[in-house]
Structure 1
Amino acid sequence: MFPLIRNRRLRQNEAIRRLVRETYITPNDFLVPLFVVEGKNVKEEITSMPNYYRFSLDLLEKEVKDLWQMGLCAVLLFVKVPDNLKDNKGTEALNPKGLMQRAIKTVKNACPDMLVMTDVALDPYSCYGHDGIVAEGKILNDETTEVLAEMSVSHAQAGADIVAPSDMMDGRILTLREALEDEGYTDTGIMSYSAKYASAFYGPFRDALDSAPVAIKDVPKDKQTYQMDPANRREAIKETEMDIDEGADIVMVKPGLCYLDIVRDIKDAVEVPVAVYQVSGEYAMLKAAAEKGWLNHDAVMLEQLTAIKRAGADIIASYFAKDAVKLIS
């Protein structure tokens, strides 16, 4: 058919490229992770995540208002818990006056229409840095899910719209859903980290919350006994479908770029929204390369985000959210 068909006709200027473009990034695509710490007037840059910060509650209020003004309408809250409040059972996670519970209320008071999602896992509260209760060298599954269910109810009581269990314990979605229903929180959603891999990309996040597994006797040195093997593909579909059957409203793949095949597989297999978490290591790598002058920060950032959405993501949790929105706006 050449030269009747010339694909370059639809690429020859910006106007035509915009007209036929298949994938667009908008502020509505983003879920903004926020790190919260105790104190007042605290805005601490995370060393391994340049230009990203931990906020005390007073500055969290300002940050949330700024996000809303930018068109960003959803946040995902994480808390950095003081060491003296950590134990093996996540006791502080159930404190109705705990940092997470106060953070939820702060966001809702500052911006009532902001969608608030909350991290549900024990690692920020654990003296061992694990997502579950540790006993005899193992992470206890069923005992952990009971605590996670109580955490979820506590977050709902504080005003969370959606709880986001990131622990990868078996059966925890059903346990959470039943607990929320029993307490009357029928409208509280669950975004499950359904396909969360035992990735090497989480390092800066663990710096941000001081939540890395500790290297001591009788404590697993990593999270490979509960997070997924990066070599596995079919297992992600199984995990995700089970979570949906148990009551998950949104499912997530984590990390992002190295797992876009998984995102597409899941998107094709399910009929609920699919979220992708572009994790701290992905963020840090681009920041470091851009600082060296090796990559064009903004161009690569938008290319990565476009790839995630093109793969099938309905929601993108990303530390780049503010930077991206400034560009696309």
Structure 2
Amino acid sequence: MSFPAHRPRRLRTTPAVRRLARETHLVPSQLVLPMFVREGIDEPREIGSMPGVFQHTLDSLRRAATDAAASGIGGVMLFGVPAVRDACGTGADDDRGILNVATRAVVEEVGDALVVQTDLCLDEFTDHGHCGVLAEDGSVDNDATLERYVAMGLAQARAGSAMLGLSGMMDGQVAAVREALEGEGLVDTLILAYSAKYAGAFYGPFREAVDSQLKGDRRSYQLDPANAREGVREAIMDVDEGADVVMVKPALPYLDVLADVRSAVDVPVWAYQVSGEYAMIQAAAANGWIDGRGAMLEALLGIRRAGADAILTYAAVEAAGWLRDAL
């Protein structure tokens, strides 16, 4: 029997050969851990739909951030859950608000070891659960919301946030916040633009995590899941407005968009493995249907392979340990 000169299996024969021939690498420093801190609780609360993920107290947040730094991951993204909400989300830019207090605490604890990032959006702070200020007709007022984002961004930067995660999907949000930061001399504060953030079905567990008050949906400002080119256009616009990093969210359902964005811009491109993606793997693993560790690492590797320079994932610390064990 005649064989061709090329036998691709030769590059798969042993673990050592496979490591040497590997095209895509996933390491702990490419992972970012989203973390929730809730005002008014005395002990951390596990989120029912996200096993292993907690709403933290300030003390438990400090401890978890220290563990995150020790794991070797690249950063943390902080989300605040306030005790009181209102129509304009005034707690978002309050210096004594839960997110800004938590930011100072985490920066003090691990600011030299991790990139401490903060979610810049109003949905956790509004009593209607939308990402912006509502107009009289109930729609989200884009330009009025930008004023709130500017105030929120300045408050977060002054609290010590190294990177502002602009996740609200308002037109002009990057330009507005960047101009304000420059005007206040906060020129080293990074902006992570959630450029291609899609309105889809994978955010359900996150809504539990932040005790969302949302009624209805966010389809008038987040992207239509059918539109790939629009996501690329948004990323290019955000880079032009001053974004240092752009984001695709969710990750796995939008790997095509992620790859296209990676080809279109010359800044780092990140992706967010959102709560629904995490919860599906956890639930299937708990039922014995899949190998949870293998599935999680394969999902993260797939996101990297599609073009993500870093990944936000609730499995960041656990995955970092698995990656170290594999060395």
User: TM-score range, shorter-chain basis?
Assistant: over 0.9
Q: Give me the whole-angstrom Cα distance separating, in 2, the residues matched to 1:112 and 1:300.
A: 31
**Which residue of structure 2 aligns with residue 268 of structure 1?**
263
Q: How far 1:199 sits from its partner (Å)? A: 1.2
Q: How far 1:38 sits from its partner (Å)? A: 2.1
Q: How far 1:58 sits from its partner (Å)? A: 0.8
Give the SS at the match of 2:140: strand
Give deviations 1:42-91, integer Å, cap 9, x for gaps.
21100010111111111111111111111123110001112xx2111111
Q: Give me the whole-angstrom Cα distance separating, in 2, the residues matched to 1:161 and 1:112.
A: 9
Q: How far 1:212 sits from its partner (Å)? A: 4.5
**Which residue of structure 1 aligns with residue 305 of structure 2?**
310
**Which residue of structure 2 aligns with residue 170 of structure 1?**
171
Residue 127 of structure 2 contacts residue 213 of structure 2 at CA under 8 Å; is this kept in 1?
Answer: no
User: 1:129-278 residue pairs with structure 2 within 5 A?
Assistant: 129-135=129-135, 136-214=137-215, 221-278=216-273
Q: Tell me if 1:112 matches 2:107.
A: no
Residue 283 of structure 1 contacts residue 320 of structure 1 at CA under 8 Å; is this kept in 2?
Answer: yes
After superposition, the CA RMSD in angstroms is 1.1
Q: Give me the whole-angstrom Cα distance separating, in 1, the residues matched to 2:295 and 2:213.
A: 29
Give deviations 1:190-236, integer Å, cap 9, x for gaps.
0000000001100000100012412xxxxxx1100000000001101
Q: How far 1:24 sits from its partner (Å)? A: 1.4
Q: How far 1:109 sits from its partner (Å)? A: 1.2
Q: Give me the whole-angstrom Cα distance separating, in 1, the residues matched to 2:243 and 2:44.
A: 34
- TM-score normalized with structure 2 length: 0.96
Q: Give me the whole-angstrom Cα distance separating, in 2, the residues matched to 1:167 and 1:91.
A: 16
**Which residue of structure 2 aligns with residue 121 of structure 1?**
121
The amino acid that maps onto 2:110 is: C
The amino acid that maps onto 1:22 is: E
Residue 173 of structure 1 contacts residue 247 of structure 1 at CA under 8 Å; is this kept in 2?
Answer: yes
**Which residue of structure 2 aligns with residue 75 of structure 1?**
76
Q: Tell me if 1:322 matches 2:317.
A: yes
Residue 34 of structure 2 contacts residue 313 of structure 2 at CA under 8 Å; is this kept in 1?
Answer: yes
Q: How far 1:137 sits from its partner (Å)? A: 2.0
Residue 81 of structure 1 contacts residue 124 of structure 1 at CA under 8 Å; is this kept in 2?
Answer: yes
Q: How far 1:40 sits from its partner (Å)? A: 6.2
**Which residue of structure 2 aligns with residue 97 of structure 1?**
96
Q: Give me the whole-angstrom Cα distance separating, in 2, the residues matched to 1:141 and 1:112.
A: 33
Q: Tell me if 1:283 matches 2:278.
A: yes
Give deviations 1:106-132, integer Å, cap 9, x for gaps.
111112312111101110011100001
Q: Give me the whole-angstrom Cα distance separating, in 2, the residues matched to 1:244 and 1:211.
A: 30
Q: Give me the whole-angstrom Cα distance separating, in 1, the residues matched to 2:42 and 2:214.
A: 29
Give the SS at the match of 2:118: strand
Q: How far 1:237 sits from its partner (Å)? A: 1.1
**Which residue of structure 2 aligns with residue 36 of structure 1?**
37
Q: Give me the whole-angstrom Cα distance separating, in 2, the residues matched to 1:41 and 1:222.
A: 32
- TM-score normalized with structure 1 length: 0.96
Give deviations 1:177-201, integer Å, cap 9, x for gaps.
0111111101101000000000110
Percent identity (aligned): 47
Q: Give me the whole-angstrom Cα distance separating, in 2, the residues matched to 1:325 and 1:144.
A: 37
State the 4+ residue runs in structure 1 displaced beyond 4 angstroms. Answer: none
Q: Give me the whole-angstrom Cα distance separating, in 2, the residues matched to 1:243 and 1:3.
A: 49
Residue 39 of structure 1 contacts residue 57 of structure 1 at CA under 8 Å; is this kept in 2?
Answer: no
The amino acid that maps onto 2:101 is: R
Q: Give me the whole-angstrom Cα distance separating, in 1, the residues matched to 2:74 and 2:13.
A: 35
Give the SS at the match of 1:144: helix
Gaps of 5+ in 1: 215-220
Residue 40 of structure 1 contacts residue 58 of structure 1 at CA under 8 Å; is this kept in 2?
Answer: no
- Taking structure 1 as reference, are residues 195 and 180 closer, same or farther at Cα in structure 2, changes over 3 Å only? same
User: 1:37-76 residue pairs with structure 2 within 5 A?
Assistant: 37-39=38-40, 41-76=42-77
Residue 196 of structure 2 contacts residue 223 of structure 2 at CA under 8 Å; is this kept in 1?
Answer: yes
Q: Give me the whole-angstrom Cα distance separating, in 2, the residues matched to 1:139 and 1:278.
A: 26
Q: How far 1:41 sits from its partner (Å)? A: 4.9
Q: Give me the whole-angstrom Cα distance separating, in 2, the residues matched to 1:259 and 1:158.
A: 33
Q: Give me the whole-angstrom Cα distance separating, in 2, the residues matched to 1:193 and 1:2.
A: 50
Residue 78 of structure 2 contacts residue 117 of structure 2 at CA under 8 Å; is this kept in 1?
Answer: yes
